[in-house]
Structure formats: structure tokens, C-alpha cells
């Protein structure tokens, strides 16, 4: 490397490289995350789609290939929609999808009923209280989701805290069955997802000009009228964002129905997981995933649209 010619070539190369970087760094900044997401986020969906159109066989991998080369380069494309037909015909799946939507919708409404007054109270409180309350809402979000669900197993069990307490004060004689019922699933979903409702509501309410409410009151509107004609409409973007952030992931929830619902509460996330891991039926599991995705694509696009609008507004 002591050769002056070589070192000059090297420095010229370095110069060229830095020049190239100077001019094209924008493409590089964009290319790296773009490529990552194409490979690890978008491509996998096409693979799921492909496998959902295959037949189940006992082999490794346990499905038929889509493209087969029959001799002399004749390509044979095999697409089977049996898995989707199976989902459609088997009542179990339709019921499970509907049940998932029912559970996540009711949970979303419950989260809204609990979260809305809380977000409102946080926004309207004084500076220091606001920070403390916000932190109290965010803190559970940083602790383990799994352990928060586990905490409710201890509360709701037949020998659990709630039953022990109710028996001790003499309200009931025998333990109430709460764990492994739909009730437990609702409690679990509301408990773990309520911060997702409060935070977007808070973010929305913080930007609101609250003198509007005073104006309405000054003009003689009753509190109820003010709430329905002023407060509710201006906080609607927050309500929608929070509801979507609860509804979408709750529909595909696996851990909560599994740990708190036992086998008694059918939810689609759990069916997918079991289809894949217990039944080793990859094509059906893939079809279940695609169907779930189709079910959620509208709310997801709505959420995406709202996010984009919010960024533009800023």
C-alpha cells in the first residue's frame, strides 16, 4: 500500500464513492427500509396466499407445490380453492369469525366508555396532574402483556381473589364461574387494550380549543346538548383512531381467548394458531389468515388513511 500509484487510485476510488454517496444518499436512505419491508413484510403475504391455494399433503412441506414442471418444460399450475370452500361450508369457521367480531366490537365500545372520560379528565387537569396521570396510563403498556393477562387468571379463578372476597363477605356461597367464560375474555381485552384507546383520544383532545364549550354554554346550550353537538363531533377523529387501534388487533387476539377463555370461547386467532401448530394444516391455516386479513382490510385502510391525514395536517 506504500505504492503511490495504488494509494492515489485508492483515494480516487474513495472520492468517487463519497461523491456517489453525496448524490444518491436519498435513494440509499429510502432503499434500505423499503427493501426490508418488501422482503419481510409484503413478500410473506404472497407466500401465505400461495399456500392457501394448495392442497394439504403429508410431507415436508405439508402442501402441494403451485407450479410443477411436467417433462419437457411444460408448466403445470395448480390452484385449489378447496380451502376457502371448506371455510365457507364449515359452520365452525363462520361462527368463529362472527364471534371474534362480536367480542372485539363489544370490547371496543367498553374501552371507549372507560377511556373517554379518562382521556377527557387527563386533558382538563392541571399541568402536573396531567403528567402523572398520563404516565400511569402509559406504564402498563411497557410492562408485559402476558403477565397482565395472567394477573386476571388469579383474579377470576374459582379459587381466585374475587371469589374468595365475595365468599368472605357472604355475598355468595359458591364460587362464581368466571375464568374460562366469555366474560373473562371481555375483561382481559378491555384491560389490556384500554391504554390504546386513551392515548389517541388524549392526543386528539389536547389539540382542541376548549373555549368552544364555553361558547356553547354561554349561548345557552345544556351540558348534554353541548356534549352531543360540540364535544363528540370534534373528538370524533380520536374516537375512530382509538377504536380501530383496539378493534383490529383484538379481532385476531390469541393469548386472551386461550388463557382466559379456555376452550369455551371461539376466536379466529386461536383457530388459526391451532390449525397450524396442532393440526399442521398449513393450507387451511393460510386460508384462515387470508380471510381474516380480508375482514380487517377495510378498518386497516381507514386507520392508514387517518394517519396520513393527520401527518399532512401537521
Partner 1 sequence: MNNGRKSRFLFTATCFGIAFLYVPMILLIFYSFNKSRIVPVWGGFSTKWYGVLFESEEVWEAIALSLKIATVNASFAMILGTLAGLALVRFGRFKGRTLFSGMISAPLVMPEVITGLSLLLLFITLKEFVGWPDQRGFTTITIAHITFSMAYVAVIIQSRLTGMAQDLEEAAQDLGAKPLRVLIDITLPLLAPGMLAGWLLAFTLSLDDLIIASFVTGPGAVTLPILIYSRIRLGLRPDINALATIIILVVAIGVLVAAWVMFRQQKQRELELSMSEEA
Q: What value does the CA radius of gyration of the chain take, rounded to a whole number of Å?
A: 27
Tell me the CA end-to-end span of the chain in Å, nearest whole number: 54
Taking the least distance from each CB to partner 1, the nearer of 6 and 262 is 262
- Rounded to the nearest whole angstrom, what is the least distance from the CB of residue 19 to partner 1 in the complex? 11
Q: Which residues make Cβ contacts (< 8 Å) with residue 250, sequence separation at least 6?
A: 103, 104, 107, 108, 189, 193
Q: How far is the CB of 13 from partner 1 (least distance, A)?
A: 19
Contact 256, 239 (CB under 8 A): no
Taking the C-alpha atoms of residue 244 and residue 265, their distance in angstroms, rounded to an integer, is 22
CB count in 10 Å sphere of residue 183: 16
Q: Which is nearer to partner 1, 6 or 30 (CB)?
A: 30
Tell me 271's DSSP state: H
> Between residues 5 and 41, which has the closer beta carbon with respect to partner 1?
41
Q: How far is the CB of 229 from partner 1 (least distance, A)?
A: 16
CB of 134 to partner 1, least distance (A): 10
What is the smallest separation between the CB atom of 93 and partner 1, expressed in angstroms?
Answer: 15
Select 5 or 215, whichever has its Cβ closest to partner 1: 215
* Cβ nearer to partner 1, comparing 140 with 182: 140
DSSP string, 182-203: HHHHHHHHHHHHHHHHHHHHHH
Amino acid at each position: 500500500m506504500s505504492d503511490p500509484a495504488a494509494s492515489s487510485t485508492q483515494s480516487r476510488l474513495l472520492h468517487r464513492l463519497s461523491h456517489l454517496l453525496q448524490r444518491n444518499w436519498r435513494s440509499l436512505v429510502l432503499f434500505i427500509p423499503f427493501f426490508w419491508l418488501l422482503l419481510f413484510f409484503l413478500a410473506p403475504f404472497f407466500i401465505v396466499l400461495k399456500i392457501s391455494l394448495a392442497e394439504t399433503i403429508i410431507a415436508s412441506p405439508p402442501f402441494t407445490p403451485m407450479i410443477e414442471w411436467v417433462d419437457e418444460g411444460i408448466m403445470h399450475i395448480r390452484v385449489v380453492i378447496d380451502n376457502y370452500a371448506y371455510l365457507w361450508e364449515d359452520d365452525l369457521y363462520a361462527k368463529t369469525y362472527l364471534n371474534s367480531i362480536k367480542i372485539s366490537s363489544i370490547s371496543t365500545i367498553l374501552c371507549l366508555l372507560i377511556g373517554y372520560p379518562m382521556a377527557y379528565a387527563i386533558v382538563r387537569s392541571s399541568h402536573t396532574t396531567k403528567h402523572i396521570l398520563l404516565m400511569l396510563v402509559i406504564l402498563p403498556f411497557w410492562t408485559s402483556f402476558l403477565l397482565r393477562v395472567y394477573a386476571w387468571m388469579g383474579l377470576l379463578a374459582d379459587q381466585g381473589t374475587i371469589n374468595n372476597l365475595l365468599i368472605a363477605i357472604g355475598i355468595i356461597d359458591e364460587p362464581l364461574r368466571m375464568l374460562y367464560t366469555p366474560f373473562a375474555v371481555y375483561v382481559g381485552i378491555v384491560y389490556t387494550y384500554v391504554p390504546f384507546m386513551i392515548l389517541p383520544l388524549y392526543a386528539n383532545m389536547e389539540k382542541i380549543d376548549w373555549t368552544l364549550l364555553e361558547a356553547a354554554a354561554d349561548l345557552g346550550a345544556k351540558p348534554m346538548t353541548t356534549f352531543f353537538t360540540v364535544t363528540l363531533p370534534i373528538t370524533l377523529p380520536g374516537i375512530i383512531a382509538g377504536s380501530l387501534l383496539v378493534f383490529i388487533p383484538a379481532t385476531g387476539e390469541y393469548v386472551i381467548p386461550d388463557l382466559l377463555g379456555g376452550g369455551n370461547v371461539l376466536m379466529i386467532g386461536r383457530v388459526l394458531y391451532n390449525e397450524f401448530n396442532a393440526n399442521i394444516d398449513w393450507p387451511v391455516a393460510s386460508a384462515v389468515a387470508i380471510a381474516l386479513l380480508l375482514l380487517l382490510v377495510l378498518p386497516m385502510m381507514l386507520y392508514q388513511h387517518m394517519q396520513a391525514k393527520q401527518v399532512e395536517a401537521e
